[in-house]
A and B are shown apart, each in its own frame.
Chain A
């Protein structure tokens, strides 16, 4: 059971070869990922938050690329160079570990992971929740004027209420371009989730909860709003189209809505962060 070496051919320095392969491919691939792939990563640049996500995804992808290459190249390398010859019964070297490599791995992976966690925390706080639903008391709130818009999720449609425009409720969402919007997402029955993926915003709608998310669209566009928490039979059908329009067009639109929905606005309950309409438990 000896590890045979063919006389005359020295064992190649696998460590050097493999490390070279990995380092070179990482040095090629990572900049490609950052500069070529990065800018076109989802969710796109529909809002400041979405652009922030593109940066986050680029950073994460850039850190993942060398890891991916390490393991994949290793697997391919090992499959080629560390094979048992056909019908052979050779044994490999009886090495049970290498404390230097193990320590280095633990340290490097921990550092990588901790820095990712720190980066994520900084981005989350710096971007006021980064478009995610941050609950009724977000940790950081953007300064300056904000347009409050309430998203009411019900089975199975979203309606939108504008408290600063007389509490008018509309069937689709229009937002003014380049203004910070403070979304208040709530539900009046089961758990839903408001997801405007081009704007990089997602906030769960829980009954009795006011879930706040901040978003600032950066150009005029149309976007899709979809429910992303299973809420019953028409969950997949709970979508509508939203628009980001110029502030002037927004003003025109909202006044149109106020006129159009005047009868409904009269019978709406006063604007509130949450609603508990009857029946709150089982219907009679």
Chain B
């Protein structure tokens, strides 16, 4: 693989006085216009609903007003950031301003920036922020579950906390790896100077930030009682806070769809010469497989939420049996999105693990084609399994054997990833650096998650475990044990490239071990709790289960503390100590490590030409099969 690193030739920063910088299209303007848009929408909503829909005012519910307020607020927010500048200037025949690219300094990170590397870091910090918020919700939930009867948290607030935790995590962490790492590194890995649609890339980030804020605002409107799945008819029955959920997920769906689209366009069209599909880094393959799911599944979510919003505002009956609709319709529509959604969460994790493994085992990726077919197989099959969420719901009984089969089958391509993992580690020379530790932890966690999934896919066994804490344990093992552990693997692996700084080794190892032990201690007992009859989303349970719940809660607190260790590590290493990292501390042969740190604005001086995949590790074998010894 031949590369040419670019000599940075960045334009000089334009010096402007502070007050001049404050006026213009930036975050401050965005917030002001967002708030303005909110009140405008609220006013318009009341004008519409006050006259035509009497029941709205009778119950003091202002669903139409709130939905329009959120909509106009987001539009105002995006206009304030400057997203309308390019379309409007082109419409008016003016040349587009290049100010977005010229800005230097830390201000870029707080506004619309079309540099994919800036967007990657924006994502990392933004998603990290909402991840912590979701995590704090979880801490409150576990505090409440210390006692079998409601003690600290009121029953409504508890349901809202549960809903906020799940919704925040699912909405934010779907872009948890694609957002920061794919945005930053996919163009570099494929030898491109930028993403296919840089402005859309920035849009996906800011949509997510606006969405997160909207979700958190639900506590001002009474919260929402449905959990992250938003089932009808409870959805329709809920108070105003439900609209925050609807808006949040619709914006997240839009962000996901655009992110996937951008990734696919970039990977398909902007590969450098010589980079055939069979030489593509496995991480890029996983991003591609995920993007297909994002583009196809997210619109379903948006459409479903629109139907739910219509039910709530103008009294349609899509989901009300009394009006000719069906509660099954929502379940099916939601899970048609929901199941690919969880594979959107899992696939990037596969990609990161298989990408990092060759670097730390000093061997090429074992079974490259098998791994790719595993990812694409998971991607394809994920659309055919969704009714396993509905096994006990009374769906047409003919369907269950089919969905049992399809769900069981999807574990076969997932198994390929494990085989490639094990094959790559076989007879390797592995350095157990912190990123490698997270990858090994992924293998253990996802194994438990996957095996428990086999139990859930068996319809008779699912009868006991559906809707119980067993399911909670399963998906926390696959999503948190899978995605979040690989998220941290990516952070420890790539932050030296993104910032040029090293993490403190001891703090990193303390973070890993405390997180791994606390994670398993928290979620392993949940399998037992589920089997012993504890349903999901409850704050009251059979008193005989209290001991186990206390154990889980204490472990969860330790897990939260381990996240604090990470925060301390990040602040200490990246802000205070700021030890320079070498240019390629992991001795990786992947292209992103061959460019200098900090990565120049246009990534490469000359577009590289590829002649192999990035897994050129290891000692070639001689004819007899023994590794060759180097000559003198």
Contact = CB atoms under 8 A, between A and B. Distances in A.
Interface in A99-131: 101-102, 105-106, 109-110, 113-114, 116-117, 119-121, 123-125, 127, 129-131
A82 B462 contact: no
A56 B461 contact: yes
A281 B404 contact: no
B288 to A, nearest CB: 21
A185 B369 CA distance: 49
A139 B399 CA distance: 10
Contacts of A29: none
B1 to A, nearest CB: 15
Interface string A190-233: 11010101101111101111111000000000001011111111
Contacts of A94: 363-364, 617-621, 627
B358 to A, nearest CB: 9
Given A82-B428, A105-B415, A136-B394, A95 B323 contact: no
A95 B461 contact: no
B536 interface: yes
Interface residues of B, number: 104
Contacts of A89: 587
A209 B394 CA distance: 8
A68 B451 contact: yes
A191 B619 contact: no
B431 A84 contact: yes
Contacts of A267: none
Contacts of B279: none
Interface in B516-573: 531-533, 535-542
A201 B467 contact: no
B412 A224 contact: no
A97 B629 CA distance: 21
Given A190-B237, A193-B467, A230-B159, A236 B617 contact: no
B459 interface: yes
Contacts, number: 332
Interface in A73-100: 74-75, 78-79, 82-85, 88-98
Q: How large is the interface on A (under 10, 10 to 19, 20 to 34, 35 or more residues)?
A: 35 or more
A82 B430 CA distance: 6
Nearest to A74: B422
B226 interface: yes
Interface string B414-452: 011011001101111111100000001001100110010
Nearest to A132: B463
Given A79-B440, A92-B619, A95-B364, A129 B397 contact: yes
A20 interface: no
A116 B361 contact: no
Contact of B233 (A105, A189, A211): A189
Contact of B460 (A93, A130, A137, A230): A130
B398 A124 contact: no
B412 A134 contact: no
B321 interface: yes
11 contacts: A41-B531, A83-B430, A85-B429, A88-B429, A94-B618, A105-B415, A130-B463, A134-B397, A197-B464, A197-B468, A235-B159
